[in-house]
Amino acid sequence: MRKDVHHAYRAARGWVLPAVLAITACAHGSIAPVVPNDLVRYEPPPPGLEEVWLTGSSTGRLAYRNGCFRLERASPPGDATLIWPHSYRSVTGSDGRRGVSDGNGNAVFDGDEVTLGGGSGGDEAPTRMFQREIAIACGGPYRSSWIPF
């Protein structure tokens, strides 16, 4: 019995990963990470503190401009520079558009109409974030964002 399970595992391993990649490619096209990750995002929480994400939502058009993502024609609260969770990656789609991936196969791209989770962060850029200088150059208001798939 053990030999049969091992054989079945080896056989499945040969087709499962290619099948998953093919399905993902069909759903999103191929995506490639941007190196280094230049995404405007929060730093991880300090040791001993928990990460908490706001759960409001905002709908609009995702726009990549001057090194950062903005939500345009957003309802609510209006146009805003987006700050992503620390684990998210900046990616490029097969069509050359810049995008954001949550690392679980979910991605959104420049020009997409999106509904994002998150919440308003105000007019001042947070201090604990990666690429803060880019966010400041893009201007506020700022909004925490995550892909709600």
What residues pair up with 31 in beta bridges, in sequence order?
Answer: 93
Q: What CA–CA distances, in Å, run from 22 to 16, 19, 26, 72, 109?
A: 10, 5, 6, 32, 19
pLDDT for residue 139: 93
Instruction: Give the pLDDT band (50/70/90) at residue 37.
Output: confident
Higher pLDDT, 122 or 96: 96
Alpha-carbon distance of 22 to 15, in angstroms, equals 11
Alpha-carbon distance of 112 to 67, in angstroms, equals 17
Three-class SS state of 6: helix
Q: Does residue 83 contact residue 135 with C-beta atoms inside 8 Å? A: yes
pLDDT for residue 129: 92
pLDDT for residue 23: 37
Instruction: Give the pLDDT band (50/70/90) at residue 76.
Output: low
Alpha-carbon distance of 112 to 40, in angstroms, equals 18
Average pLDDT, stretch 60-89?
88
Alpha-carbon distance of 47 to 103, in angstroms, equals 22
Mean confidence (pLDDT) of the chain? 79
Characterise 122 by phi-psi region: left (phi > 0), alpha (psi -120 to 50), beta (else): left
pLDDT for residue 8: 42
- Using alpha carbons, select from 24, 40, 3 the residue that is nearest to residue 94: 24
Average pLDDT, stretch 135-142?
92
Q: Does residue 115 contact residue 126 with C-beta atoms inside 8 Å? A: no
Average pLDDT, stretch 25-53?
78
Give tens-digit pLDDT for 90-103: 999 999 999 999 98
